[in-house]
Amino acid sequence: MEMKVHINEIKGKKVGYKIRWTEDGKPKEAFRKEYKDATALQASVRERLIGDSKEEYRKTHLSDSQLKDAEAALLELNGRLSLREASRLALEHWVDASSGICIDEACWRFFESLESEGLRPDTITKYKQTAKRIAKKLEGEQTSDLTYECVKSFMGQFKHPLDFNARRRELNRFINYIVDSGWLPSNPLNGIKPKKNDPKQPEVISPEQVTELLRVAAGNFPEGAVPYLALSVFAAIRPEEMKRLSSQSNLKNLVNIDTGIITLPAHVAKGRRIRNIKIRPALKSFLIAHPESPELNGYQLKKLKRLLSFKIPHDGLRHTGITGIYMEHRSFGDTALETGNSERIIRDHYLGFWTDAQAEKFWSIKPTTK
């Protein structure tokens, strides 16, 4: 059946629109003066010719919204793929997230995301460790099982405020990734606040204890132990910064005895801000006497601590170094710049530890003769 209904405009003495079509094998035509009347007749004729079946009239099972989506998709594809090819490709990577996805799958996808963000390797390791711990707790479960009670139970194992807040920060990144991916409606960790940590006065070791530390290291450990400890205490370099610094291929340029400056590049220093530290005579003497690359692993440090007559407090080497540097500068600002701290921290935490005589003794420490 021919279902075309044409409209032709007529110009001349008789102005209007002629509607032409074929019905039952015979040509038909009609005239309408107004265009809107012509289109109305055209629609009426088409409906009569096609029939009353809505499905037959539309020639598709798609709804109006589906047709719009299909048209938009074809425009975006712009001939690069057919709609069928594009749908097959999409389905290969599609995950039914109506009730979340497997926690292990979310974990591995999170790891891939971390690798693309330009984070430090040790930072990535910490995020991965915490993600693995929560995944192990939910082994075989879905991301939808990351409930408030589950997260609360997991965080309950971390007692110390610093440990709790660090693990919370790492877990928060993992769960936010899951939420942003659409595998969980909201982050249950939002209901668990960080713990307040009342700042404590840092503990330092005495000049005599520094001397003992370096003497024991020189006599019982690999040669890299002494320069590692000397940089930690006399330059007040953080443990994590020391690990990154000691692995640098251009270490001699960074710890430059000739210029008298240690440069911590952004990828080494905490906060990714370049820091320059003065090499004072005490440190210089140890670096010259022990030119080996600084190296001391966790096992060796534990063994070293067991051989000492005193206990090294938490971050005790860095705190001791900051105390000595402040006693030389007598300036909150200069000490803060060199040690990577704030002036407020220096003012509130590092005054009154040593007398002038103790500071002088600290900066007079020299390596023992081999």
Q: Are residues 219 and 323 in the same domain?
A: yes
Residue 118: other Cβ atoms inside 10 A = 8
**Region 15-29: what's the mean pLDDT?**
86
pLDDT at 5 over 90: no
pLDDT of residue 55: 41
- The first and second tokens of residue 245, run together, are 């610094």
Q: Are residues 244 and 353 in the same domain?
A: yes
Say what the alpha-carbon torsion angle 110, 113, 117, 119 is, to the nearest 10 degrees: 40
Stronger pLDDT, 86 or 237, i.e. the higher one: 237
- The first and second tokens of residue 300, run together, are 């060796």
Contacts of 284 (CB under 8 A, 6+ apart): 257, 260
DSSP for 149-179 reads HHHHHHHTT--SHHHHHHHHHHHHHHHHHHH
DSSP for 253-305 reads HHEETTTTEEEE-TTTSGGG--EEEE--HHHHHHHHH--SPP---HHHHHHHH
User: How far apart are alpha carbons 96 and 113 in whole angstroms?
Assistant: 20
Phi, psi of 15 (to 5 degrees): -100, 130
CATH of the domain at 293: 1.10.443
- The first and second tokens of residue 69, run together, are 């989506």
Tell me how many degrees the CA angle 54-60-65 measures, rounded to the nearest 5. 95
Element at 20 (helix H, strand E)? strand 16-23
**Region 192-205: what's the mean pLDDT?**
83
Q: Are residues 218 and 358 in the same domain?
A: yes
Phi, psi of 316 (to 5 degrees): -60, -35
Q: Residue 267 in contact with residue 199, Cβ under 8 Å?
A: no
pLDDT of residue 96: 57
Q: How many helices (H) and strands (E) does the chain have?
A: 18, 6
Q: Are residues 179 and 217 in the same domain?
A: no
- The first and second tokens of residue 356, run together, are 């002038």
pLDDT of residue 162: 85
Within a domain: residue 120? yes
* Last-in-domain residue among 191, 226, 242: 191
User: How far apart are alpha carbons 222 and 254 in whole angstroms?
Assistant: 22
Within a domain: residue 77? no
pLDDT of residue 13: 78
Stronger pLDDT, 216 or 369, i.e. the higher one: 216
**Region 166-180: what's the mean pLDDT?**
94
Give the single-character DSSP code of 142: B
Q: Are residues 224 and 357 in the same domain?
A: yes
pLDDT of residue 2: 46
- The first and second tokens of residue 190, run together, are 């939002």
Q: Are residues 211 and 151 in the same domain?
A: no
pLDDT of residue 94: 61
Say what the alpha-carbon torsion angle 27, 28, 31, 35 is, to the nearest 10 degrees: -90
Within a domain: residue 348? yes
Within a domain: residue 298? yes
Contacts of 301 (CB under 8 A, 6+ apart): none
Q: Are residues 186 and 222 in the same domain?
A: no
Q: Could you tell me the residue range of the domain that residue 45 belongs to? A: 5-58
Q: Are residues 219 and 167 in the same domain?
A: no
Stronger pLDDT, 229 or 159, i.e. the higher one: 229
The tally of domains found in the chain comes to 3
Within a domain: residue 34? yes
**Chain segment 27-78, per-residue pLDDT in tens:** 889 999 888 888 888 878 877 776 643 444 445 677 778 877 887 788 777 7
Within a domain: residue 321? yes
Q: Are residues 219 and 345 in the same domain?
A: yes
**Region 173-198: what's the mean pLDDT?**
89
pLDDT of residue 52: 44
Closest CA to 193 of 148, 234, 227, 225: 148
pLDDT of residue 167: 95
**Chain segment 244-300, per-residue pLDDT in tens:** 999 899 999 999 999 999 999 988 988 888 999 999 999 999 999 999 999 999 899
Q: Are residues 169 and 252 in the same domain?
A: no
Q: Residue 235 in contact with residue 279, Cβ under 8 Å?
A: yes
Within a domain: residue 114? yes
pTM strictly above 0.75: no
pLDDT above 90 as % of the chain: 49
pLDDT of residue 91: 74
pLDDT at 357 over 90: yes
Q: Are residues 42 and 158 in the same domain?
A: no
CATH of the domain at 164: 1.10.150.130
Q: Are residues 245 and 351 in the same domain?
A: yes
